[in-house]
Structure 1
């Protein structure tokens, strides 16, 4: 038994070494960047964390009487749409959910940029706690925040934590470490700079910055983020051997669907054949029974 376990371990090490030697350093590095750092960075650089950290301060600047309760708006919206996204992710796929949800998030950011611009015209483009802002414009901004959070909850809020499905066993620990480091570095930058950005870039400029990051990452997703729906972990690890894997993922899933279709057709054919044979046997049995009855009615002599 011990010899068997040692032999299995040796074979695994040999296979892992052969796999790593078959790829270049750039191939392994770009895989880790695409699989881990991309999604974990955009979680923070999109600006959502600032809504959670500074929702009270932001709503206080907007003139809400109870700004602390205002923080429940992005948190509650995010929690609800995370559940919706997790329900849909295996049906429409990771990439499909991104292509649908991220434009909603971008629309929310554009909404806020325009709304903050008109809201802050009386105060020179900046938020001023001593000024009483138009409640209608404040409501419009809250609507933009809800729209942004809806798109974020459907996509990055939970998809960012799926990076391990992209990582083969031999690089999973390193890839997870890189992704976590990227996430917390981006979180540090955004959380420290947010209030300063409001005072220097203006609220519209701040959300314009987040929009820029989100657009760049969305373009990256369009061309470099492969779909993993219907693919096994072993198949997923092969996506990045040649390029970013988008076309190969589509091809592999089409081949799998075609194989499943042929298998289903063959199973249906087999079932139909068995059914026909059963009918033939039944008909044959009926014929013999009728013949025996007929012979029994014949006069003997």
Structure 2
């Protein structure tokens, strides 16, 4: 790529990935507020879990309903609506003290997160040249992690002031405004433009983001649409069985690692191991910084060593780390920083593998005409598991962490065998991947 095209493509990925930053911030900010929320509303463990999970229920619905609007109105308009939902959720959660109103606004934020997980990676994958696609889509994951880290820092700084949990949730409005404004400076997906018979606009976009043969690129996109079928085609067909299976399993294993439950309840987990509240929040920041550092490493490696090798390394490391956490709970042996070191190991291996690969792979394996539907399937699978685990985690952890962390370790052991069967997609165009997986 010429430097100008590459720089502009980086800018486009940066703007689109701000949806990922808000995704991560919204996901993790609740960790600093969840104990106060339980006290303020006098919630049982089950009701408390539901309060945390309401946003995740929103993510499932947000991921499910966004497919048709994204196909009809385009990726950019969908991203602008998502930015608006993030803003409304942040302001509403901070301003309202009634529990039911709080649930409503957290649900609205969940809609935004779910839709972000579909539209953001899909948009970046469709506009990126194949050589850099993995890195640019992984930049979305990097911003998710950056959002998580910023949420942990924000919680730490705000903790202790009056109405701190409301302020923790409200500061999200600032990046939401920035995201909305910057979306007016980036172009629409060229693949969506071709599907709308707007080839002149598509050529202009391809010229700005790549030095590839523009006519060849347009031809391949049009050929893929003719070969596979129209955009109204159903996803659940025999010819799409492989993309469906790969998307379902990568999303399932991503969440059955326990990552979101651990991020949501990190301070509580550290307190269970004998750490005071303030130190628990600081250790959560360390976890977030570990996640950020190794996500950057994953971004660098994903287009060099490929998706499969990262998953091999990650599944092995996560299995060992989670098994050590389960062992610590079983023996009640949390000397020094045992829990912190084990969870740092888990986060590091997750970040370079399942964390870096999930949104890249889901955005790659589906053909152009059903990509939005396939992205919805992968995202919904991810969020259904996340909602279930986050809802029930307070119940499981109440009796100790041995069972639940052993379960997570077993799932990561099984994910190794999934990686063995996964095709490698690095350095292949979306149309080439389509031919390999649907023939």
The two structures share one fold, judged by TM-score above 0.5:
yes
The residue that corresponds to 1:135 in the other structure is 335
Deviation at 1:182, TM superposition (A): 0.6
2:260 to 40, 43, 49: 49
Find 1:181's aligned residue among 373, 377, 380: 380
Q: 1:233 is matched with which residue: 409, 430, 436?
A: 430
Aligned to 2:315: 102
| Structure 2 unaligned residues grouped into runs of 5+ | 1-196, 200-218
Distance 2:225 2:232 in 1: 11
**Match status 1:165 vs 2:364:** yes
Query: Who is 2:281 aligned against?
Result: 68
SS of aligned partner of 1:90: coil
| Superposed CA offset, 1:254-290 (max 9, x none) | xxxxxxxxxxxxxxxxxxxxxxxxxxxxxxxxxxxxx
Is 1:205 aligned with 2:417?
no
| Shift in CA distance, 227/108, structure 1 to aligned 2, threshold 3 Å | same
Q: Aligned-pair distance for 1:241?
A: 3.9
2:346 to 148, 156, 159: 148
2:58 aligns with: none
Please identify, of 102-111 and 183-192, the stretch whose mean Cα deviation from structure 2 is larger. Answer: 102-111
Deviation at 1:15, TM superposition (A): 3.2
Count of paired positions: 219
Q: Could you tell me the TM-score, scaled by structure 2's length?
A: 0.46
Contact 1:93 1:228 in 2 (8 A): yes
The 1-side partners of 2:236 and 2:281 are apart by 51
Contact map agreement 1:112 1:141 (CA 8 A) in 2: yes
Bigger CA radius of gyration = 1
User: Contact conserved, 2:320 with 2:409, CA < 8 A, in 1?
Assistant: no
- Residues 217-236 of structure 1: per-residue CA shift (max 9 Å, x gap): 3212212x111123222221
Cα shift readout 1:95-129 (whole Å, capped 9, x = no counterpart):
11111222111111111122222116xxxxxxxxx
- TM-score normalised over the length of structure 1: 0.65
Give the drift of 1:240.
2.5
Indicate how the Cα distance of structure 1 residues 24 and 57 shifts in structure 2: closer, same or farther if over 3 A, else same. Answer: closer
Mean Cα deviation higher: 75-84 or 202-211: 202-211
- Please tell me whether the aligned partners of residues 302 and 356 of structure 2 are also in contact (alpha carbons under 8 angstroms): no
Contact 1:85 1:153 in 2 (8 A): yes
Mean Cα deviation higher: 82-91 or 159-168: 159-168
| CA spacing shift, 1:12–1:158, aligned 2, 3 Å | closer
For 1:13 and 1:181, the matched residues in 2 are separated by 25
- RMSD of Structure 2 on Structure 1 (CA): 2.9
CA positional deviation for 1:11 = 7.6
Q: CA deviation at 1:212?
A: 2.1
Superposition deviation, residue 13 in structure 1:
5.8
Matching residue of 2:391: 192
Q: Deviations over 1:188-214 (max 9, x none)?
A: 0110111211234x3111101111222
Distance 1:98 1:44 in 2: 14
* Residue 227 (structure 2) aligned to one of 4, 15, 23: 15
Q: Is 1:26 the equivalent of 2:238?
A: yes
